[in-house]
Structure 1
Amino acid sequence: MTATLLNHLAEGPASAPPLLLGPSLGTSYALWDKVAPELSAAHRVVRFDLPGHGGSAPDLIGPGATVGDLAGLVLALADSLGIERFGYAGVSLGGAVGLHLALHHPERISSLAVICSSAHFNGAKPWQERAALVRREGLAGLAESADARWFTPGFSVPRLVRDHREADPGAYAACCDALAAFDLRDRLAEISVRTLLIAGRQDPATPPAHLREIADAVPHATLVELPGASHLAPAQCPEAVLTALRAHLGGTARRGMEVRREVLGDAHVDRAQARQTPFTARFQDFISRYAWGEIWTDPTLGRRERSMITLTALVAHGHYDELAMHVRAARRNGLSPEEIGAVLLQTAVYCGVPAANSAFATAQRVLAEEEQGGE
């Protein structure tokens, strides 16, 4: 049976924010070997192989392929994994795929990192010539010069060179066709996704000027230049790439902590942070990222509505300590005592009178404390 999906490797908790990692032409997902495991502590990391590279079938694309075709394969992979919205980071051709996704499918992309890549790849002719060469002679000759194109002198990753040599020539050439046709320079200003650009200062394939061009055009983009890095920065300078990606991807957690404080109050959050231990640190991070950074920031519902839903759910499950906290939060979110009472009265119908009785007792205590504090 013919494979229809890109070969991939998933790492990290299924409940964590998804992050897809795209490789460069000629490599496999092994390009991310020194980065992905670290990112998977806080993300559901999915790294994939391009068609004909690593474990991906070569017939997923053919002659005349475009970057849009490759982006479609990435979306099909995400769909198969039940991933609706995801962060994306890609190197070189993988970065071009990310730019296409951010421009044409912004509703699917929560953040974008473009690494050692470009909005264009120096015109069509060099890539057309390379595609013709590979179709005629295979990849052995190009693989011999891979280190010089990918790394600074004296550095090598034999696994990646082997992947280059063993890639399918037809699929590799089709990827060259995609690079030949790619040019988004006149549309970069339309990209609205939060974007990080990472350039290797020693990169001969996509020099820093290419990343600066994107950073200057994409609104609110951030550019990081890595000294001593060449074209495959995640393999050559993994710690520097990790540092930049963590700072970029941490935006959800930071916003989550802001909302958490706005809703629950500084005193409560400070107490929770003070009680945090190495054992509970990942759980606290999960709450900030997922509950507060993803759910409570979704503009579909306002905070008043979210407070009413939360109160009902807590009554239904008998979580009265949490209920007390969220009665206070409901008051911060603009609910009057009468409105809170109306919510609890409705829980008597749908959650049961005993549950509502306990809930009223908890809410009455909290509201009395609030009134005394006000006085």
Structure 2
Amino acid sequence: MKLHHRVDGPAGAPLLVLGPSLGTTLDIWHPQLSALTQSWRVLRYDLPGHGGSAPATSGLTIDDLARAVLDLVDETEDAEDGEFAVGGISLGGAIATAIAAGRQRAGRRGRVRSLVLCCTSARFGEPGPWLERAALVRASGVTQLAPVLAARWFTAGYDGRWVTDMLERVDAESYAACCTAIASCDLTGRLAAITAPTLIVAGADDPATPLDQALTLAQGIPGALLRVVPGAAHLASVERADTVTSAIVGHLGGHSGHAAGMRTRREVLGDAHVDRAVAATTGFTRDFQHLITRYAWDEIWNRPGLDRRTRSCVTLTALVARGHLDELAMHVRAALRNGLTPDEIGEVLLQTAIYCGVPAANAAFAVAQRVLADVQAEED
């Protein structure tokens, strides 16, 4: 399967691969192109039978489409450094999710360095309606869907005619084949395998991939960040282009360390603790929260020189030495999550009695004993 594509941006820049939604072409990314090509070499592709791509000749699956996109990556010289970013809208987002989950990557170069998912889902509802739409399109063509799709793609009153006009460049059989791929798509069980920093963009008024589907992605992909765009339906990247462009540029650029740090922070401290910290963030504390997420949890905790068990031992010792008992309680729980046993935590604290002082160790044992008892009670 050979997909029509276009590459824009400076030679030598990192590669970013972007996929369109069902019924649209690579031009759907035009609102973001100028901003993204300042730092990225952007590869946009057309789905089979859409825009300039040849029609589909048989049934399709999400993995078939993912392999076709990876063929484009392998043909692009910018992929030689072994890393690329990938994203997509709706069906394009599902393709990007499948690529990031890695099932198709055996024997291929590279890995996904960042993931952007716009108004998409791990599972697009029951297969019946999609198969019915495929039959309808085969019988009556694609353009007759324009009024229905416009109402799903945009909120009332928004003029997105330049997007619905793309339907005129879509082959009916290929559209139906893509509907079949969507009908059989269920990536829910593969989300946990995604390791790339991930941004999820959801339209607050999206009837096609509602917010609960975005939440499934956010909860299933470790460390994923969810951005809900108000006043936008299914094609939020068109209807609220400035907002979505800013979020994507921030994720791919200077804030990528924040995404990686947030993922590690959740893995070490647990979702409940991090959710409380995020909920308590104010305008006054936001910059500080970003600082510790980027520099403590990404720049330090994600360094390869020490494993997390060792980093927990170092952290416990430092907190005892400085008398930071509230932080010590949090990191006793973190040490358990990082694989230390209660006895090993006790050994660390016992050694601090020699090097940090008996009074400091005495206070630390009291804190640790209380935390370990609480953890045991929670497990019982």
| Same fold? TM cut 0.5 | yes
Partner of 1:68: 63
Cα-to-partner distance string for 1:205-262 (whole Å, 9 max, x where unaligned): 001111111101111110000000111111111111111111211258769xxxxxxx
Whether 2:106 is the aligned partner of 1:103: answer no
One-letter code of the match for 1:125? G
Alignment of 1:259-270 (within 5 A): none
The 3-state SS of whatever aligns with 1:6 is coil
Cα-to-partner distance string for 1:153-201 (whole Å, 9 max, x where unaligned): 1112222211113300011111001000001112222222211110000
Alignment of 1:330-369 (within 5 A): none
Task: Determine if contact 2:28/2:163 at 8 Å carries over to the other structure.
Answer: yes
One-letter code of the match for 1:35? Q
One-letter code of the match for 1:237? R
Partner of 1:127: 130
Quick one: distance in 2 between partners of 1:138 and 1:22?
23
Structure 1 125/34 Cα, relative in aligned 2: closer, same or farther at 3 Å?
A: same
Quick one: distance in 1 between partners of 2:256 and 2:22?
32
Compute the TM-score of the two structures, normalised by the length of structure 2: 0.64
One-letter code of the match for 1:8? H
Whether 2:75 is the aligned partner of 1:80: answer yes
Quick one: distance in 2 between partners of 1:137 and 1:116?
27
Task: Determine if contact 2:35/2:249 at 8 Å carries over to the other structure.
Answer: no
Quick one: distance in 1 between partners of 2:237 and 2:303?
32
Partner of 2:89: 91
One-letter code of the match for 1:88? V
The 3-state SS of whatever aligns with 1:20 is strand
Structure 1 126/62 Cα, relative in aligned 2: closer, same or farther at 3 Å?
A: farther
Partner of 1:177: 180
One-letter code of the match for 2:2? L
**CA deviation after TM superposition for structure 1 residue 37, in Å:** 1.7
The 3-state SS of whatever aligns with 1:145 is helix
Quick one: distance in 1 between partners of 2:303 and 2:61?
34
1:24 to 17, 21, 34: 21
Structure showing greater Rg: 1
C-alpha RMSD of matched pairs (Å): 2.2
Quick one: distance in 1 between partners of 2:255 and 2:75?
24
Whether 2:250 is the aligned partner of 1:247: answer yes
Equivalenced residues, count:
255
**Mean CA deviation greater in 146-155 or 78-87:** 78-87
Alignment of 1:200-349 (within 5 A): 200-251=203-254
Task: Determine if contact 2:5/2:43 at 8 Å carries over to the other structure.
Answer: yes
Quick one: distance in 2 between partners of 1:77 and 1:299?
31
Cα-to-partner distance string for 1:286-344 (whole Å, 9 max, x where unaligned): xxxxxxxxxxx9979xxxxxxxxxxxxxxxxxxxxxxxxxxxxxxxxxxxxxxxxxxxx
Partner of 2:4: 7
One-letter code of the match for 1:196? L
**CA deviation after TM superposition for structure 1 residue 85, in Å:** 2.4
Compute the TM-score of the two structures, normalised by the length of structure 1: 0.64
Structure 1 108/57 Cα, relative in aligned 2: closer, same or farther at 3 Å?
A: same
Structure 1 24/298 Cα, relative in aligned 2: closer, same or farther at 3 Å?
A: farther
Quick one: distance in 2 between partners of 1:62 and 1:251?
42
Partner of 1:337: none
The 3-state SS of whatever aligns with 1:55 is coil
1:46 to 30, 43, 48: 43
**CA deviation after TM superposition for structure 1 residue 46, in Å:** 1.1
Partner of 1:57: 54
Whether 2:116 is the aligned partner of 1:113: answer yes
Quick one: distance in 2 between partners of 1:47 and 1:155?
25
The 3-state SS of whatever aligns with 1:113 is strand
Partner of 2:264: none
